[in-house]
Amino acid sequence: MQINNLKRKTPNKVSITVGRGGKRGKTSGRGTKGQNARAGHKKRPEMRERIKKLPKLRGYAFKSIKQYDVFPINLGTLENNFKNGDIVSPTTLVAKGLVNLTKGQNPRIKILGKEDFSRKIKVVGCTLSAPAKERILKAGGEIK
């Protein structure tokens, strides 16, 4: 073996040529002109762009669709839909279609005393305002 027969273990790294014949010359594979050709260009996907522009702070005008914690019902509604001796409860109110179920359960109900009332009814499982309580008891009804 002679010195002129020796070969390197790893070949020399050839630098990439620049110009018409090279792989990354002139526009360096970016095409020509425009936003994409500029240094530091950042184009985000459209969906990400929308998400990034949404406000992050609390208290922005997005309000969730809120179910009532307590359904208010006026005495006038009860007078039109119930007879003397009837029981008024969340179950009977749902059955008559005056109130909707919330998450598959009977809602909490508060009876408000805005109008005059003259029926003898029995109220079970509902909260009442002070005037409503007074008017139901005055008409001869019961509250449990």
CATH number, domain of 107, equals 3.100.10.10
* Rounded distance between C-alpha atoms, residue 35 and residue 122, angstroms: 75
Asked, for residue 84, whether it belongs to a domain, the answer is: yes
Asked, for residue 20, whether it belongs to a domain, the answer is: no
Radius of gyration of the chain (CA): 39
Asked, for residue 38, whether it belongs to a domain, the answer is: no
Nearest to 75 by CA among 109, 108, 106, 107: 109
Nearest to 74 by CA among 5, 131, 143: 131
Asked, for residue 105, whether it belongs to a domain, the answer is: yes
Asked, for residue 81, whether it belongs to a domain, the answer is: yes
35's CB contacts (< 8 A; 6+ apart) are 41, 43
Asked, for residue 17, whether it belongs to a domain, the answer is: no
- Residue 112 bridge partners (DSSP): 74
Is 85:120 a contact under the CB 8 Å cutoff?
Answer: yes
Number of structural domains the chain divides into: 1
At 37 the pLDDT is 86
- In terms of residue numbers, what domain contains 79? 70-143
DSSP 124: -
Angstrom distances, CA of residue 82 to CA of 34, 62, 95, 123: 75, 40, 12, 11
Instruction: List, for residues 69-88, the tens digit of each pLDDT value.
Output: 788 999 999 999 999 999 99
Instruction: List, for residues 33-80, the tens digit of each pLDDT value.
Output: 888 888 888 787 888 888 888 877 766 666 666 666 788 999 999 999
Q: pTM for the complete prediction? A: 0.53
Asked, for residue 92, whether it belongs to a domain, the answer is: yes
Return mean pLDDT, the chain.
85
Angstrom distances, CA of residue 142 to CA of 14, 18, 42, 98, 121: 99, 97, 72, 21, 6
Asked, for residue 51, whether it belongs to a domain, the answer is: no
At 68 the pLDDT is 63
